[in-house]
Amino acid sequence: MILTASGFVVFLLCMPAVQGQNGWGATYSSTQICAVKGSTVEISCSYKYPSTINHQVNTVQKTFWFTQKKDGELVDLTTASEYSGRVEDLCENNRCTLRIKNLTESDSAEYRFRLKTNKDAYTASPGVTLSVTDPDLLVIGKTIVHQSNSKAELQCHSRCLLPHDPSYIWYKNGQNIRGETFSHSVYFHSADSFSCALKGHENFPSPSQCVDGQTCNRVIHTDRSICAFKGSSVDISCIYSSYESITDGFWFSPERYHQGQNSSQPEDLSEDSQYRGRVQILETERGRSTLRISDLRDSDSAQYLFKFKTPSFEWRSDLPGTTLTVTDPDLKVKVKVQVHSYSWSELQCYTSCRLPHGSSYIWYENGLKMAKKTLSSYSVYFGFASSYSCAVRGHEDFPSPPVCVTGQTCNRVIYTERSICALNGSSVDISCTYNGYKVSVKSKFWFSPERSHQGQNPSQPEDLSKDSQYRGRVQILETWRGHSTLRISDLRDSDSAQYLFTFKTTSFEWGSDLPGTTLTVTALQVQVITSTVHQAYTYAELKCRSSCSPAGVSYVWFKNNKKIIKEERPLYKDQFYPGDIISCALQGHENYSSPLIYALKFPVVSVSPSDEIMEGSSVTLTCSSDANPAANYTWYKTDGNQKLHPLAKERQLVFSSILVSDSGEYNCTAENELGKRTSDMISVDVKYSPKPPSVSASPSAEIEEGSSVTLTCSSDANPAADYTWYKENQTLFQGAEGSYHVTSISSEDSGIYYCKSRNQFGEINSTSLFVDVLYAPKPPSVSVSPSAEIEEGSSVTLTCSSDANPAANYTWYKEDEDSPKASGQIFTITDFRAEHSGSYSCGAKNKIGRQNSTFHQIVVTGAWTSRAAGITTAVVLAVILLSIFLLIRKKKSAKRSSEPGEPHSKQDLNQQLFRSQAYTLSYCRSKTELQSPPEELLYASVQFSKNQSDPLSSNIEDSVVYAEVQFNSAAPRSQMSATEDSTALYSTINKTRTQHESAAHHFY
């Protein structure tokens, strides 16, 4: 039969098989059948046989179905105990049907039909292979687009035979939705995925299926169930996809988060304390996540799921994940006997638990290890006396029970229990069944390999009944033949060991390689079931328990070493105060009480080292609290707002290289099932040498002369640093305060400053700080170059200098002129002339203020051009000649008028001459004033020398005649320039006389 829908194809294999031989034959309706656990299956066969054999009538006497032999005989399934009440064999008209109900995984086998007549027998081979498995479901869908909505018609199919009239469960995006039938109609979005499951088989849903495309939201777990051994590792994987980018993804166990603080929220297993150090999350490829759990424990048996979140979506957890079962190896040896051979069989080491990949096996024959047998199957040519067992390497303590290849009378020892746990002071029974093949047992005893190795002959087992350690505590009981019991009383911790049974016959000895029963002797423990912490006490429910849980015993409770009357149950509720101690014991075994438990005492905090803590050193804070159950510790540090921040969940808080920022107030909490207590605060003060100082000046803007200035040095140090201020290596100030004050700063205070910060752990200098004091210009000074006599037409440079910060700008002025002559520090007149004479000054100015120099006058005496000198000479000569002429004339007139009397005196003559001279000079001056400005006024003194040849002159006494002479220069004005220098000019200009000149001119 072929089912098709939306591109999916499911094949149900129906291949008839016909066997025929001399008229014998059988036809199976199907040779391969897949069925779901719990369902019912029918295996049918039509047969034929010859009506006569050797001319004799051949009639059917019996038909039956079988899977194996027992004692050399094929076993009719209707008589097999494992099929009791579940099997029907229906035969009619040469057609037989085997109906098996409530299928289990162990029903997976090859089923063959057997026909027996009065003349012969026939077995149809090969038979029908039945595979009993979990539902193998698949969602098949087709989409219907109606206007703007998309609708899907979904069907839940199985490749295997399903139970009659099943009910279904439908899931959308991992969440359970309504729908109980084979088909389901639903509106959907492109991001949606769908899955289905059978009711009663919810742990085996179909993989989530996208209806539109392959990028919907979905999680598909690789395995629905995994069985793993204690102590081994397991990988639980899934593939996932998302319609949007994933913001978070993690593995969780519903059983675990139901026990957490927030039972409605899944807890990331990587953060679960139960799995700490044993869980890894591997993402070997995009969209595939693997949860790896190592060192498996019984408590790890649970369901594990993966979920993810996007900004607008969260995968739901209604859809089952992977169920992990942690157990000891549950091995069995299956014997497949060859139908036509009574001495050759194939042995198969089988377990319902999935073994780790690449597992290696160990085979035992009659209790002895067989060399070089490491595969799960083993073909053996056996004897009827031999028994066989197998184990998985690494789990040798859990072998399969020995099996006889044929029959039940082979040599073998089967232990009732592989492991037993018992309490201190109690008694234990360790039992086994044994059998010797067709011979009587000569000797038998119990022994412990651990004790035998300590004996005189380590290679020979030692009978425990003769061991001094067990004297008076051991009994060997044989309640019936083939059943032996070792009873050990008054158990001690040292009795924890492996115990084996061995026997001997006249020709055989049972080997001791095959493990026996492991006994573990433990003590009682008080477990806290629930607790409520109050300020002064804790109210708790306690349970007296151990890894062994004996039934039908009474308990005794002790509080503060006093027996609590009328409390014989394993549970005990009460209020417990700090310092209370509690224990329990089995009634009649009060000497073997549990370890004491007690409420928490207030934690004590210590610091190591206890003296000063230096930055960079190793520091350990230890929190100690006497508690049982052992306390869990948490360290806290207070911030500036006195809020506590958790730092570590360890008993010790270790700083391998402590930082300055680690200084502060710390405390710890100790917490167990009986309460929580908080320690006092402890202060951690980290000492350190000064950090590089920072320096600053106040005001931070421009500093003007005369203002108040503060230099500040600041350095982080513990203990606080002392400071020293320096100016260019000259110590200015030293003290605990880092400030240096200058009340009225001057220009001399400008310079480079720095400070030093120092405590007992070190010292360090700051960077340099330049203090720049601004001030107005000082009174300027003026210099002239050249400083000697200045020739007319030469270059004259005036320079103005003034101390100022910032540097001054200069301006040149001439007296009685409103406009500045020039700007700049240097003022240069390249062609100096008489009109440049006068008083000059300079002004110095910056943004702080200004200063002017005094006026510097340049006085020109006889400094003229050659033309001016010629005019002067001519005028002087004219005056002289005129004076002589007037004098001579005067004398002649005097002679004529003096003839009647005495002549005029010499003084009168001089006075007359002076008046004449003065008149002449006055005349010249008036003429000159009309032609030249007043500032060019020159003063000259004229002196006449005696001329011996001149009789008139020789008769006149020497006299000085002063004349005021003004020159009018017709020469062009000279050029002036200003440069970076300036001066006030003082000059004396001399005119050289010739031999014919009789007057000396002196200019001031």
- For the ranges 152-156, 383-387, 896-900, 994-998, the one whose mean pLDDT is highest: 152-156
The secondary structure of 675-690, three-state, reads EEEECCCEEECEEECC
- Is residue 827 one of the residues assigned to a domain? no
* Amino acid occupying residue 656: S
**Cα of 212 vs its chain's centroid, Å:** 40
Distance CA 458, CA 948 (A): 171
- Is residue 813 one of the residues assigned to a domain? no
Same domain, 229 and 276: yes
Distance CA 481, CA 465 (A): 20
Q: What is the pLDDT of residues 185-233, one digit of tens each?
A: 888 888 899 999 988 888 889 899 888 877 899 999 998 888 888 888 8
User: Which of 420, 328, 344 shows the shortest CA–CA distance to 380?
Assistant: 344
The secondary structure of 869-902, three-state, reads HHHHHHHHHHHHHHHHHHHHHHHHHHHHHHCCCC
Same domain, 403 and 420: no
Distance CA 420, CA 491 (A): 12
Same domain, 62 and 118: yes
Looking at the predicted structure, is the pLDDT value of residue 376 above 50? yes
Looking at the predicted structure, is the pLDDT value of residue 907 above 80? no
Q: What are phi and psi of 912, to 5 degrees?
A: -65, -40
The pLDDT value given to residue 531: 82
- For 103-112, b where at least 16 C-beta lie within 10 A, e where not — what string? beeebebebb
The pLDDT value given to residue 550: 66
| Reported confidence tier of residue 17, pLDDT bands at 50, 70, 90 | very low
Distance CA 281, CA 295 (A): 15
Looking at the predicted structure, is the pLDDT value of residue 11 above 50? no
| Reported confidence tier of residue 237, pLDDT bands at 50, 70, 90 | very high
**Interval 889-904 mean pLDDT:** 56
Q: What is the pLDDT of residues 259-306, one digit of tens each?
A: 555 556 788 998 888 888 899 999 888 889 999 999 898 889 999 999
Contacts of 530 (CB under 8 A, 6+ apart): 540, 541
The pLDDT value given to residue 305: 94
Q: Choose between 970 and 911: higher pLDDT.
A: 911
| Reported confidence tier of residue 594, pLDDT bands at 50, 70, 90 | confident
Same domain, 588 and 648: no
The pLDDT value given to residue 230: 82
Which two three-digit tokens encode residue 851?
């200063």
The DSSP secondary structure of 192-249, one letter per residue, reads: -EEEEEETT-TTSPPPPEESSSS-SSEEEES-SEEEEETT--EEEEEEEE-SS--SEE
Looking at the predicted structure, is the pLDDT value of residue 975 above 50? no
Looking at the predicted structure, is the pLDDT value of residue 63 above 60? yes
Tally of domains in the chain: 8
Looking at the predicted structure, is the pLDDT value of residue 826 above 80? yes
Q: Choose between 73 and 47: higher pLDDT.
A: 47
Residues 824, 978 contacting (CB under 8 angstroms): yes
Q: Choose between 117 and 161: higher pLDDT.
A: 117
The pLDDT value given to residue 459: 66
User: Which helix or strand (DSSP H or E) is residue 925 part of?
Assistant: helix 906-929
Same domain, 621 and 703: no
| Reported confidence tier of residue 528, pLDDT bands at 50, 70, 90 | confident
The pLDDT value given to residue 18: 47
**Interval 399-413 mean pLDDT:** 87
Neighbours of 809 (CB within 10 A): 16
Looking at the predicted structure, is the pLDDT value of residue 992 above 80? no
Residues 289, 238 contacting (CB under 8 angstroms): yes
The pLDDT value given to residue 356: 66
Same domain, 108 and 27: yes
Phi-psi region for residue 906, left (φ > 0), alpha (ψ -120 to 50) or beta?
Answer: alpha
Same domain, 6 and 110: yes
- Is residue 991 one of the residues assigned to a domain? no
Helix, strand, coil % in the chain, rounded to nearest 5: 10, 45, 45
Distance CA 360, CA 356 (A): 9
Asked which of 476, 494, 522 is the last residue of a domain, the reply is: 522
| Reported confidence tier of residue 1000, pLDDT bands at 50, 70, 90 | very low
User: Which of 718, 606, 610, 727 shows the shortest CA–CA distance to 668?
Assistant: 606
- Is residue 799 one of the residues assigned to a domain? no
Asked which of 552, 569, 598 is the last residue of a domain, the reply is: 598
- Is residue 796 one of the residues assigned to a domain? no
DSSP state of 845: E
Cis peptide bond upstream of 126, omega within 30: yes
The pLDDT value given to residue 30: 84
| Residues paired with residue 575 on neighbouring β-strands, in sequence order | 539
| Reported confidence tier of residue 909, pLDDT bands at 50, 70, 90 | very low
Distance CA 139, CA 211 (A): 9
Same domain, 10 and 126: yes
Looking at the predicted structure, is the pLDDT value of residue 89 above 50? yes
The secondary structure of 625-662, three-state, reads CCCECCCEEEEEEECCCCCEEEEECCCEEEECCCCHHH
Asked which of 393, 410, 427 is the last residue of a domain, the reply is: 410
Same domain, 566 and 631: no
Contacts of 694 (CB under 8 A, 6+ apart): 713, 714, 715, 766
Q: What is the pLDDT of residues 159-184, one digit of tens each?
A: 787 777 788 999 999 898 887 888 88
**What SS3 class is residue 468?**
helix
Q: Please, what is the average pLDDT of the chain?
A: 80
The DSSP secondary structure of 39-96, one letter per residue, reads: --EEEEEEEE--SEETTEE--EEEEEEES-EETTEEPPGGG-GGGTTTEEEEEETTEE
**Interval 410-428 mean pLDDT:** 89
Residues 666, 653 contacting (CB under 8 angstroms): yes
**Interval 821-830 mean pLDDT:** 89
The pLDDT value given to residue 933: 40
Distance CA 640, CA 646 (A): 15
Same domain, 35 and 122: yes
Which two three-digit tokens encode residue 522?
């433990």
- Is residue 332 one of the residues assigned to a domain? yes
* Amino acid occupying residue 397: D
Same domain, 112 and 38: yes
Looking at the predicted structure, is the pLDDT value of residue 15 above 80? no
- For the ranges 627-631, 655-659, 837-841, 927-931, the one whose mean pLDDT is highest: 655-659
Which two three-digit tokens encode residue 504?
């001997």
Q: What is the pLDDT of residues 868-882, one digit of tens each?
A: 555 667 777 888 888
Looking at the predicted structure, is the pLDDT value of residue 521 above 80? yes
- For 742-781, b where at least 16 C-beta lie within 10 A, e where not — what string? beebeeebbeebbbbbbbebebbebeebebebbbbbeebb
**Interval 826-846 mean pLDDT:** 88
* Amino acid occupying residue 436: G
The pLDDT value given to residue 529: 83
* Domain of residue 232, CATH code: 2.60.40.10
Distance CA 74, CA 680 (A): 81
Q: What are phi and psi of 307, to 5 degrees?
A: -140, 160
The DSSP secondary structure of 346-390, one letter per residue, reads: EEEEEESSPPPTT--EEEEETTEEETT--SSEEEEE--TT-EEEE
| Reported confidence tier of residue 530, pLDDT bands at 50, 70, 90 | confident
Residues 324, 226 contacting (CB under 8 angstroms): yes
Looking at the predicted structure, is the pLDDT value of residue 957 above 80? no
Looking at the predicted structure, is the pLDDT value of residue 352 above 80? no
| Reported confidence tier of residue 958, pLDDT bands at 50, 70, 90 | very low
User: Which of 688, 668, 541, 696 shows the shortest CA–CA distance to 607?
Assistant: 668
Looking at the predicted structure, is the pLDDT value of residue 942 above 60? no
The pLDDT value given to residue 802: 92
Q: What is the pLDDT of residues 767-790, one digit of tens each?
A: 999 999 999 999 999 988 887 777
* pTM reported for the whole predicted model: 0.48
- Is residue 154 one of the residues assigned to a domain? no
Residues 586, 423 contacting (CB under 8 angstroms): yes
Contacts of 261 (CB under 8 A, 6+ apart): none
Same domain, 711 and 751: yes
Burial class (CB in 10 A: 0-12, 13-18, 19+), 20: exposed
Distance CA 4, CA 8 (A): 6
The pLDDT value given to residue 264: 63
- Is residue 380 one of the residues assigned to a domain? yes
Distance CA 280, CA 61 (A): 64
Residue 899 domain boundaries: 866-965
**Interval 376-397 mean pLDDT:** 83
**What SS3 class is residue 790?**
coil
Looking at the predicted structure, is the pLDDT value of residue 964 above 80? no
Distance CA 515, CA 374 (A): 18
Q: What is the pLDDT of residues 727-751, one digit of tens each?
A: 988 999 898 888 999 999 998 899 9
The pLDDT value given to residue 859: 56
Q: What is the pLDDT of residues 630-689, one digit of tens each?
A: 889 999 988 766 677 788 888 999 999 999 989 989 999 988 878 788 889 999 999 999
Query: Which residue, chain included where needed, has tokens 């790896």?
Result: 292
Query: Which residue, chain included where needed, has tokens 């003060």?
Result: 685
